[in-house]
């Protein structure tokens, strides 16, 4: 007869059991997630590699200061398009950042529960899904037809229409993420609404605000359709009241041309556009990162 106390007493198995069903399941599942994550990077890297391969060989200083070549010319660059993109995206940011952030403050704090805020939020959400070409058509009707000319202004305004909802909705999220307890503390100390926003809420929300602005700028910098109706293109240096070149429209125009030189320039312009967005991302991380907790 066995000792009963011996029978009930088991040493717990603490060693790993890699071939048990639950261990196998977890190995399989985590491998799938890793694979999916890796797969998500494939498109980005293939685009990057292709851009570096096809556009990299034309990279030179000439690109930045020369004007676009004519049909059978060799060489040339697209300094005017870089300048045009910077100007129009800059203008769009100048309009959409203050506007979007102020609207977000209303949505997230001041008018949290009221109808106006709900309607504004709904409109912004709808606008993020707006086909970008419609922003172009709108700016064409609202600016180009009235000024009677294609211009950098019209281009900037068209881009700002696309940026506002992105800035607004990401900023709203960022402000909402600030813990309620911290907001309470600000009021408890005797802050007015403005003081609590400026001294407590916005500094904490800053990394999120910056991320939103960068996302919006990156989106605007690559948009072609809204500029086709508003800024058009130009072979000359930036004059704000006249048709204006941009990298996106240059890529669109030149990639379809039957000339080797222009096609090469289109690749180089694509590479530079991607690099510009990339650098912006890094700068914003450097700024936003400092503020992080």
Partner 1 sequence: MLMEAQSQQQATKTHQYDAADVVLDCQAKQIFYSDFLAVRDSHVPIVKNKITGFIGPSGCGKSTVLKSINRMNDLIRGFRFEGNVHFHGMDIYDKKVDPVSVRRNIGMVFQQPNPFSMSIYENVAFGLRLNRYKGDMDEKVEKALRGAALWDEVKNKLKNNGLSLSGGQQQRLCIARAIATEPQVLLMDEPCSALDPIATRQIEELMVQLKERFTVAIVTHNMQQAQRVADQTAFFAVDISRGGRTGYLVEMAPTAELFSNPQEELTKEYLHGEFS
Residues within the interface to partner 1 (CB under 8 A):
112-113, 179, 181-192, 195, 199-200, 203-204, 293
Minimum CB distance to partner 1, residue 201 (Å): 10
CA distances from 182 to 102, 188, 289 (A): 20, 10, 20
Minimum CB distance to partner 1, residue 109 (Å): 10
Please give the distance of CA 275 from its chain centroid, rounded to a whole number. Answer: 13
Minimum CB distance to partner 1, residue 205 (Å): 10
Q: How far apart are CA 43 and CA 12, in angstroms?
A: 48
Cβ-based nearer residue to partner 1, 35 or 185 = 185
Minimum CB distance to partner 1, residue 196 (Å): 10
Cβ-based nearer residue to partner 1, 57 or 112 = 112
Please give the distance of CA 104 from its chain centroid, rounded to a whole number. Answer: 17
Minimum CB distance to partner 1, residue 264 (Å): 50
Rg (CA), the chain: 27
Minimum CB distance to partner 1, residue 181 (Å): 4
Closest by CA position to 211, among listed 283, 270, 271, 275 = 283
Cβ-based nearer residue to partner 1, 219 or 291 = 291
Count other Cβ atoms within 10 Å, centred on residue 237. Answer: 12
Cβ-based nearer residue to partner 1, 70 or 192 = 192
Q: How far apart are CA 13 and CA 24, in angstroms?
A: 17
Cβ-based nearer residue to partner 1, 142 or 191 = 191
154 Cβ neighbours under 8 A, 6+ residues apart = 139, 140, 143, 144, 147, 230, 231
Q: How far apart are CA 77 and CA 69, in angstroms?
A: 7
Cβ-based nearer residue to partner 1, 46 or 114 = 114
């Amino acid at each position: 007869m066995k000792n009963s106390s011996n029978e009930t007493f088991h040493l717990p198995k603490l060693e790993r059991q890699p071939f048990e069903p639950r261990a196998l399941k977890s190995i399989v599942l985590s491998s799938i997630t890793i694979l999916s994550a890796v797969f998500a990077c494939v498109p980005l890297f293939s685009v990057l590699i292709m851009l570096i391969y096809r556009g990299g060989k034309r990279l030179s200083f000439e690109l930045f200061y020369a004007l676009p070549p004519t049909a059978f010319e060799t060489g040339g660059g697209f300094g005017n398009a870089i300048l045009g993109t910077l100007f129009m995206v800059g203008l769009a940011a100048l309009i959409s950042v203050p506007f979007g952030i102020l609207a977000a403050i209303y949505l997230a704090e001041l008018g949290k529960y009221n109808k106006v805020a709900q309607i504004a939020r709904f409109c912004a959400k709808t606008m993020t899904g707006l086909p970008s070409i419609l922003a172009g058509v709108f700016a064409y009707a609202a600016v180009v037809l009235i000024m009677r000319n294609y211009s950098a202004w019209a281009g900037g305004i068209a881009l700002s229409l696309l940026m506002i909802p992105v800035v607004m909705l990401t900023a709203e999220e960022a402000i909402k993420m600030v813990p309620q307890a911290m907001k309470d503390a600000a009021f408890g100390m005797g802050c007015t609404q403005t003081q609590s926003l400026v001294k407590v809420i916005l500094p904490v929300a800053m990394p999120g605000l910056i991320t939103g602005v960068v996302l919006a700028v990156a989106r605007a910098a690559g948009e072609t359709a809204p500029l086709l109706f508003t800024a058009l293109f130009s072979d000359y240096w930036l004059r704000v009241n006249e048709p204006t070149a941009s990298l996106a429209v240059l890529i669109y125009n030149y990639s379809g041309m039957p000339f080797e030189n222009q096609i090469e320039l289109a690749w180089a312009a694509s590479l530079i556009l991607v690099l510009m967005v990339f650098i912006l991302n890094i700068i914003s991380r450097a700024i936003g990162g400092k503020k992080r907790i």
